Structure formats: C-alpha cells, structure tokens
Amino acid sequence: MTESSYTRTSIVALFTVLLLSAITMLWLFWHFPRATAIVTVAVLAILGVCARLARSTDTENFEMEHGKQSI
C-alpha cells in the first residue's frame, strides 16, 4: 500500500510541476512575447548542441560493444 501511495504522490507531483511550468510559460509569453520566444529558441538550441556533443562523445561505448578494444 505504501508503494502505490508513493507512486500516486510522485505522479501528482510530476503533473503539478508540469502544470506550473506550462502556466508560467504562457504567462511569460503573454506579457513578454519576443523575449520569451528568443529565450525559448536559445534554450532549445543549447539542448540540441548538448545532445549532439553527447552523441559524439559516446563513440567509445559503441566501439567496445562491437568488439573493438580501446587502449
């Protein structure tokens, strides 16, 4: 019973955080449309660059999975 209660609490907390985030973003976009759009695009670009860098640094694990030995 405690595990299902904990799971329910975690789900409610997740939805609360997502709802607050969405409301905050809508409020910011309503009051400061240009600045919000620019910051949003910048954050998404940074996340894209980070994902690309993470993929490029993950080549060592790929080589080890395919039988190549690293020194």
Do 36 and 69 belong together in one domain?
yes
Do 20 and 54 belong together in one domain?
no
> Which range marks the domain in which residue 4 is found?
1-31
Do 20 and 40 belong together in one domain?
no
Residue 31, token pair as written in the block: 């009051």
pTM above 0.95, yes or no: no
3-state secondary structure of 58: coil
- The amino acid occupying position 10 is S
Do 37 and 71 belong together in one domain?
yes
Angle at 27 between CA 30 and CA 43, to 5 degrees: 90
Q: How far apart are CA 18 and CA 4, in angstroms?
A: 21
How many structural domains comprise the chain? Answer: 2
Would you give the end-to-end CA distance of the chain in angstroms?
51
Q: Residue-wise pLDDT tens for the chain (71 aa)?
A: 567 888 999 999 999 999 999 999 999 999 999 999 999 999 999 999 999 999 888 766 655 556 655 55
